[in-house]
């Protein structure tokens, strides 16, 4: 087609001669080729590294600062003053949270072992009071029965308590063997004597007890003389008052105390008395 052809001219005039009239195209062209918007400075870029280690309060303040700085539109806003304030707060928080490296370690909490059993509380067992042990009764010797042997032991124990020598024990035993056959006798003449523990009775005047001592002669009261320990003590005391009794025979020493109508009767009991004394002092 010839350029002078009118139809060709019309077609040519129908096309747009330039794209500048299209507003949308103009915006797209400008949008494509405009210089990229400078990158915003990160809010936390100027914040020290310790901001990341700050406490929970600092983190919350940072988030609020970011939201405030950016907003909802694209208009840049100055954030340096707020960032500096946040940095200052972070520094203060860092100082508060600082810990010395050479501090003492906290004491470890000792947890009970899952297999450990609690120590049981000791149970206090109260023992019943012990009953008083009865003294062992001596085994009879020299033909004596148990009652006689028990009385002989009382005579020997009193003599040992008074620090009397072995010979005095023999003299006392021989005397009691002759006077009462080693039984604690009451007297038929003194009805009062039967009120006290006894092992029989005699009828020789008012004589009572192991040594047949007479209350009327000043040996003591009936109650006193009926106690074997008192009667033995009275005998030893009288024996000590006799000068040189240690050098006397058994029968002579006994007669010096008793003043009996049969002074030689005590000699027959010397051997048995010696055996009994030995058995009770072994």
Give Dmax (Cα) for the chain. Answer: 204
For residue range 41-71, what is the model confidence (pLDDT) as tens digits?
Answer: 444 444 444 444 444 444 444 444 444 444 4
d(CA 159, CA 237): 10
Tell whether the model's pLDDT for residue 83 goes beyond 50: yes
d(CA 275, CA 250): 14
d(CA 49, CA 34): 36
Query: Percent of the chain having pLDDT more than 70?
Result: 58
Tell whether the model's pLDDT for residue 229 goes beyond 50: yes
**pLDDT for the residue 85:** 61
Tell whether the model's pLDDT for residue 40 goes beyond 50: no
Contact 178, 273 (CB under 8 A): no
Question: Which tokens go with 196?
Answer: 């006290």
- Residue 121's pLDDT band, with cuts at 50, 70 and 90, is confident
Contact 190, 206 (CB under 8 A): yes
**β partners of residue 202:** 187
Residues 6+ apart with CB under 8 A from 194: 186, 201
Instruction: Assign 181 to helix, strand or coil.
Output: coil
For the chain, how far is it from start to end, CA to CA, in angstroms? 171
DSSP H helical ranges for the chain: 6-14, 23-33, 56-70, 80-97, 146-161, 166-180, 222-225, 228-240, 250-258, 270-280
As a whole number, mean pLDDT of residues 158-165 equals 98
Mean pLDDT, the chain, whole residue set: 75
- Residue 103's pLDDT band, with cuts at 50, 70 and 90, is very low
């Amino acid at each position: 087609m010839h350029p002078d052809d009118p139809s060709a001219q019309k077609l040519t005039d129908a096309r747009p001669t330039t794209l500048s009239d299209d507003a949308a195209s103009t915006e797209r062209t400008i949008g494509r080729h405009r210089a990229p918007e400078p990158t915003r400075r990160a809010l936390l870029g100027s914040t020290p590294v310790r901001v990341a280690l700050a406490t929970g309060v600092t983190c919350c303040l940072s988030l609020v600062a970011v939201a405030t700085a950016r907003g909802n539109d694209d208009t840049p806003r100055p954030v340096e003053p707020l960032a500096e304030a946040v940095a200052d707060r972070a520094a203060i928080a860092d100082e508060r949270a600082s810990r010395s490296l050479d501090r003492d370690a906290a004491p470890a909490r000792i947890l009970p072992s899952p297999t450990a059993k609690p120590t049981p509380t000791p149970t206090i067992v109260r023992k019943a009071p012990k009953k008083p042990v009865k003294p062992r009764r001596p085994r009879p010797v020299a033909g004596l029965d148990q009652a006689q042997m028990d009385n002989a032991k009382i005579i020997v124990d009193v003599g040992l308590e008074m620090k009397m020598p072995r010979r005095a024990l023999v003299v006392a035993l021989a005397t009691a063997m002759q006077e009462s056959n080693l039984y604690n006798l009451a007297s038929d003449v003194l009805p009062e004597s039967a009120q006290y523990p006894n092992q029989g009775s005699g009828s020789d005047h008012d004589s009572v007890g192991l040594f047949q001592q007479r209350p009327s002669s000043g040996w003591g009261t009936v109650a006193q003389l009926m106690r074997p320990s008192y009667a033995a003590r009275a005998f030893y005391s009288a024996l000590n008052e006799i000068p040189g009794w240690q050098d006397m025979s058994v029968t002579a020493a006994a007669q010096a105390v008793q003043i009996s109508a049969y002074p030689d009767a005590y000699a027959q009991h010397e051997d048995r008395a010696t055996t009994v004394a030995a058995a009770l002092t072994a």
